[in-house]
């Protein structure tokens, strides 16, 4: 009896088998009273296929030849007596007589690199303890009025052991990360962790963005069950988990997906469609149902089987544009003569509508670097139905401004205000990600102009501006305490810097910002609407000062932000305010002062009937150089 029914064939052939990972791959089964593993692989161009492994001495043996199932070219074999952790591959004989060795595309676990074998593994018996979180997740309001402060982490370089342990090269395991990372995120006040490069990949230097195992948590940090424990622990501590996911391309490694059964199968056959010349990788064939099903199944596997809360989809622009990274003559136009990949567009609409529809409260995030319209628009309205889009335009403008000497900033004042001109177009996440602190781009701290103290005060001002600006937030690990060296995947962050008072103070400043963010709903509700944001003065270029308010839908717990991007002190700075009443200073650049502000009434200012910034009422107070002032008002 086959484990792959005619109905399974029908669904897979139409790209609608949403639990395909339970059919293809290696799964425990029982046949004629014997327990074992059923292996299934899609290889329609193959002439013959064998399962090989430790149990066959890695040789093709007749009893391990797989049976071909038509009409899709699925190969299947039941092997009795197999156990967790045993390695295997598929030996594929091609139509022209070559023999190639391939890892299982649907494997749930893989051999630690540099090995390339798949491993039998069943983690279905894991007992989840995150019922409370999962029930709460289902009830999240679709309006997206939730706080989302994301800590982006590369697990291998967040922290490392000083001694190598059992061949893991000092890397923390999933279970160790579950404890130490969870404790740190809770202390800081982030709401979510985003993990780079969890799907199995062969080369450390790719950071996990050239994937060979789309269903397997990388074995660098442990087993699939260990990864479930990581997610479980985060959820029990009210921390959401986001994974980076890469459906844009895959590497050419011999054991991987490239020409999987001797011919292009997962990739477009024409290199003008199927090659990324800049990256040296293959592009998935989004016009083939089974390939789209493979990718959709991967996304659902992470969310439904591993309880992940969201996927950040990498390199979306490279999927949407047929000419992305290609020269004239090196790409093929669509049927209308345009450069849009219509098949990828339909893939995204199918993927996002399905994932979000089946899993209320989860989210799909697009890393999309162009002005493609309606990334977060509904599919029915011509959109791609992502939940959020990384705001790459804001990020570039923000960093261009922050890197300037303060005396030059007045000439680029509009870079800090331009983001609000298009804020209504998408649901955004403001990002300062890993990509901005590698490849000679400097760390966030060292992008800042001036001497050491100036750098810290500049960065504090920038982070405060980011907090007040509409959009969810993402900050890459280490930038919260002023990592000085560029990030490198082979070493841990420079945690020793926290022995320096200025680095420790910056970390506490960021922690305070995150506390304000979660305390005041005006910072995360109604973010696309102008009635939730108002410039007080967006045009004070000569002094490089920005002032604006974030308004709550209830009219209570509103915030006024004033940020000074020069070292010039304004001892009696006057700022217009929306209405008369009391304005309590609740946060500044200085941590010692912030402690005094918690209960003090000395820092409450009564609005005066004195015109400023086009407002009838205003307040005056001392604004320090690179000063940050956040006021609460009702």
Q: Which residues are known to be catalytic?
A: 314, 367
35/555 Cα distance (integer angstroms): 64
Cα distance between residue 436 and residue 595, in whole Å: 32
Question: Distance from CA of residue 33 to its chain's centroid?
Answer: 45
Distance CA 28, CA 12 (A): 21
Q: Three-state DSSP class for 358?
A: helix
Quote the DSSP letter at residue 48.
Answer: E
310: phi then psi, degrees, rounded to nearest 5: -170, 160
Residue 140 to residue 137: CA distance in whole angstroms: 5
Spell out where 43-167 has E strands. 48-53, 67-69, 74-80, 87-93, 99-102, 118-119, 149-153
Strands (E), 154-220: 192-195, 199-200, 213-217
Convert 81-115 into a string of H (helix), E (strand) and C (coil).
CCCCCCEEEEEEECCCCCEEEECCCCCCCECCCCC
Is the Cβ–Cβ distance between 554 and 634 less than 8 Å? no
Nearest to 546 by CA among 559, 532, 561: 561
Q: Taking Cα atoms as reference points, which of 75, 70, 65 lies closest to residue 43?
A: 75
CA atoms within 13 A on the CB side of 191: 18
Which of 376, 378, 358 is closest to 367 using CA atoms? Answer: 376
């Amino acid at each position: 009896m086959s484990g792959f029914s005619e109905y399974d064939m029908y669904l897979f052939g139409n790209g609608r088998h949403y639990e395909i990972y339970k059919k293809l791959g290696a799964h425990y089964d029982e046949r004629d009273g014997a327990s074992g593993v059923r292996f299934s692989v899609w290889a329609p161009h193959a002439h013959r296929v064998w399962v090989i492994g430790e149990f066959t001495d890695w040789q093709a043996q007749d009893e391990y030849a797989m049976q071909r199932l038509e009409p899709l070219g699925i190969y299947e074999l039941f092997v009795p007596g197999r156990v967790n952790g045993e390695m295997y591959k598929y030996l594929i004989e091609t139509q022209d007589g070559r023999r190639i060795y391939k890892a299982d595309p649907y494997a749930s676990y893989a051999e630690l690199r540099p090995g390339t074998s798949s491993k039998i593994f069943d983690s279905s018996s894991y007992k989840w303890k995150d019922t409370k979180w999962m029930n709460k997740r289902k009830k999240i309001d679709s309006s997206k009025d939730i706080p989302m402060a994301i800590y982006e982490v590369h697990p291998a370089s967040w922290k490392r052991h000083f001694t190598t342990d059992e061949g893991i090269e000092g890397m923390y395991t999933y279970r160790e990360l579950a404890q130490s990372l969870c404790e740190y995120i809770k202390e800081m006040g982030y709401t979510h962790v985003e993990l780079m490069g969890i799907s199995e990949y062969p080369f450390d230097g790719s950071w996990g963005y050239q994937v060979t195992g789309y269903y397997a948590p990388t074995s660098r940090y442990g087993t699939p069950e260990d990864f479930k424990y990581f997610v479980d622990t985060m959820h029990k501590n009210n921390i959401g988990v986001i994974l980076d996911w890469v459906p844009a391309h895959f590497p050419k490694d011999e054991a991987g997906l490239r020409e999987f059964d001797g011919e292009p199968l997962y990739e477009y056959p024409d290199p003008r469609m199927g090659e990324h010349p800049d990256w040296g990788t293959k592009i998935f064939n989004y016009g083939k149902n089974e390939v789209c099903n493979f990718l959709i199944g991967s996304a659902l596997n992470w969310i439904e089987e591993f309880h992940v809360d969201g996927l950040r989809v990498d390199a979306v622009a490279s999927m949407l544009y047929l000419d992305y990274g290609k020269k004239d003559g090196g790409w093929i136009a669509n049927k209308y003569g345009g450069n849009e990949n219509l098949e990828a567009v339909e893939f995204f609409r199918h993927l996002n509508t399905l994932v979000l529809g089946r899993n209320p409260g989860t989210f799909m995030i697009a890393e999309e670097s162009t002005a493609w319209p309606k990334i977060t628009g509904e599919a029915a309205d011509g959109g791609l139905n992502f939940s959020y889009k990384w705001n790459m335009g804001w990020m570039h403008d923000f960093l261009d401004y922050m890197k300037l000497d303060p005396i030059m900033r007045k000439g680029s004042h509009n870079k800090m205000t331009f983001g609000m001109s298009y804020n209504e177009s998408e649901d955004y996440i403001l990002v300062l990600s890993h990509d901005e602190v590698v490849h000679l781009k400097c760390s966030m701290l060292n992008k800042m102009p001036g001497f050491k103290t100036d750098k810290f005060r500049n960065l504090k001002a920038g982070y405060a501006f980011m907090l007040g600006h509409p959009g969810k937030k993402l900050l890459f690990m280490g930038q919260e305490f002023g990592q000085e060296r560029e990030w490198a995947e082979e070493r841990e962050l420079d945690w020793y810097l926290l022995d320096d008072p200025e680095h420790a103070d910056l970390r506490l400043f960021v922690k305070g910002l995150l506390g304000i963010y979660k305390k005041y709903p005006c910072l995360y509700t109604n973010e696309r609407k102008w009635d939730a944001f108002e410039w007080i003065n967006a045009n004070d270029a000569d002094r490089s000062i920005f002032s604006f308010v974030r308004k709550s839908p209830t009219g209570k717990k509103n915030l006024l932000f004033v940020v000074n991007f020069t070292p010039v002190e304004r001892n009696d700075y006057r700022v217009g305010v929306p209405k008369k009443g009391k304005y309590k200073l609740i946060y500044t650049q200085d941590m010692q002062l912030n402690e005094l502000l918690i209960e003090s009434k000395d820092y409450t200012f009564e609005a005066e009937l004195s015109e400023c910034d086009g407002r009838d009422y205003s307040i005056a107070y001392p604004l320090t150089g690179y000063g940050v002032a956040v006021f609460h008002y009702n």
